[in-house]
């Protein structure tokens, strides 16, 4: 059976649980935008984790508020979809009663909840370890996928993690050569990233605005920006960067995890531009000739 999943920690842990219970013999890594655009070949009986629904799927697990609130939300399906800290938590909850052996994933699921819901401490952001570090390394917004000189591609590395997590602890996985290469790169770049973020970001009232278009994205924790002088006073960030192959731009909107005073519904805001996500964090991918206008409109919508 195929599992179609998103290549972040939430999707990876969801797929690992599926593999553990014997429901996964093939993995398909996909992006939400490609699912929405019908570019993913969803076959009859596929299991979809942490991605938008498709009528061909046999099971579906998701936790994004923008999906649940959408008119496209199906009335009947097999699986579990509800607002929750992570999709992995829903997969775990769904299968645990019939598979008590899944209890070995309990701590990893709890930490995945914290990473995916950005319920983190300042120390976990500045000095991540274990699942928190793995979560930042696999987060597309960290930018590790832009590093082209690593031993294997980021897609290959992320694809390998699902099976590895069924056999090894997070710490053991992080100690493997391809993981260590990424850990070292991540740690090396944090000081440089601090300068990069500061030079390419500014505070617009309460909004931290970052423009990374046509710039090499550095592998850095996406929450680092909320700790920087001159920016930490903001309560929401709006970031624009190049999309895949320069075909579109990616706009990310998210609450500061330390100044939790914004009332913007990021998921609904991005959904109005064809994207989606949660109340506290979301993305959209406008085409190039519209992206500047959308970027400006989203900034204005986030101002207090």
Yes or no: say if 185 and 144 are a contact pair by the CB < 8 Å rule: yes
Q: Is residue 79 part of a domain?
A: yes
pLDDT digits (tens, 9 = 90+) for 41-59: 999 999 999 999 999 999 9
With H, G, I as helix, E, B as strand and everything else as coil, classify residue 255.
strand
Q: Is residue 293 part of a domain?
A: yes
Spans of the chain, pLDDT less than 50: none
| Dist CA 265 CA 83 (whole Å) | 14
Q: What is the 8-class DSSP label of residue 218?
A: P
User: Do 8 and 106 sit in the same domain of this protein?
Assistant: yes
| Dist CA 254 CA 237 (whole Å) | 5
Q: Is residue 209 part of a domain?
A: yes
User: Do 4 and 102 sit in the same domain of this protein?
Assistant: yes
Q: Is residue 68 part of a domain?
A: yes
Q: Check residue 274 and give its pLDDT.
A: 93
How many domains does the chain divide into?
2
User: Do 104 and 2 sit in the same domain of this protein?
Assistant: yes
Q: Is residue 120 part of a domain?
A: no
pTM of the model: 0.84
> Where in the sequence is the domain holding 14, given as residue range(s)?
1-112
pLDDT digits (tens, 9 = 90+) for 99-145: 999 999 999 999 999 999 989 999 999 899 999 999 999 998 898 98
Task: Please enumerate in sequence order all residues whose Cβ is within 8 A of that of 145, keeping only pairs 6 or more positions apart, or say none.
Answer: 154, 155
Q: What is the 8-class DSSP label of residue 213?
A: T
112, 138, 158 — which closes off a domain?
112
Query: Of 236, 288, 253, nearest to 66 (Cα)?
Result: 253
Q: Is residue 170 part of a domain?
A: no
112, 141, 161 — which closes off a domain?
112
49, 82, 112 — which closes off a domain?
112
Query: Of 39, 42, 26, 31, nearest to 7 (Cα)?
Result: 31
Q: What are the structure tokens assigned to 162, written together?
A: 């699902």
Q: Check residue 104 and give its pLDDT.
A: 97
Q: Is residue 60 part of a domain?
A: yes
| Dist CA 87 CA 107 (whole Å) | 15
| Dist CA 13 CA 11 (whole Å) | 6
Q: Is residue 218 part of a domain?
A: yes
Residue 283 belongs to a domain with what CATH number?
3.10.310.30
């Amino acid at each position: 059976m195929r599992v179609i999943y998103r290549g972040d920690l939430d999707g990876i842990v969801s797929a690992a649980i599926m593999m553990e219970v014997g429901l996964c013999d093939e993995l398909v890594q996909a992006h939400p935008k490609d699912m929405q655009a019908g570019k993913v070949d969803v076959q009859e009986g596929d299991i979809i984790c942490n991605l938008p629904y498709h009528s061909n799927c046999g099971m579906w697990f998701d936790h994004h508020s923008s999906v649940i609130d959408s008119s496209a939300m199906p009335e009947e399906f097999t699986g579990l979809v509800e607002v929750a800290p992570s999709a992995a938590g829903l997969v775990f909850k769904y299968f645990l009663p019939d598979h008590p052996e899944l209890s070995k994933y309990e701590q990893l699921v709890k930490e995945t909840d914290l990473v995916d819901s950005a319920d983190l401490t300042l120390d976990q952001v500045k000095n991540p370890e274990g699942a928190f570090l793995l979560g930042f390394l696999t987060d597309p917004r960290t930018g590790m996928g832009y590093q082209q000189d690593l031993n294997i591609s980021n897609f290959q590395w992320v694809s390998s993690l699902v099976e590895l997590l069924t056999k090894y602890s997070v710490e053991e996985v992080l100690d493997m050569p391809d993981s260590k290469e990424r850990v070292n790169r991540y740690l090396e770049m944090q000081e440089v990233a601090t300068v990069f973020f500061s030079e390419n970001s500014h505070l617009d009232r309460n909004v931290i605005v970052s423009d990374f278009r046509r710039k090499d994205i550095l592998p850095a924790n996406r929450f680092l920006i909320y700790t920087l002088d001159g920016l930490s006073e903001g309560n929401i960030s709006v970031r624009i960067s190049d999309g895949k192959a320069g075909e579109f731009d990616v706009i990310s909107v998210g609450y500061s995890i330390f100044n939790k005073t914004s009332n913007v519904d990021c998921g609904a805001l991005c959904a109005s531009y064809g994207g989606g996500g949660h109340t506290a964090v979301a993305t959209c991918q406008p085409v190039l000739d519209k992206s500047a206008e959308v970027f400006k409109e989203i900034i204005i919508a986030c101002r207090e």
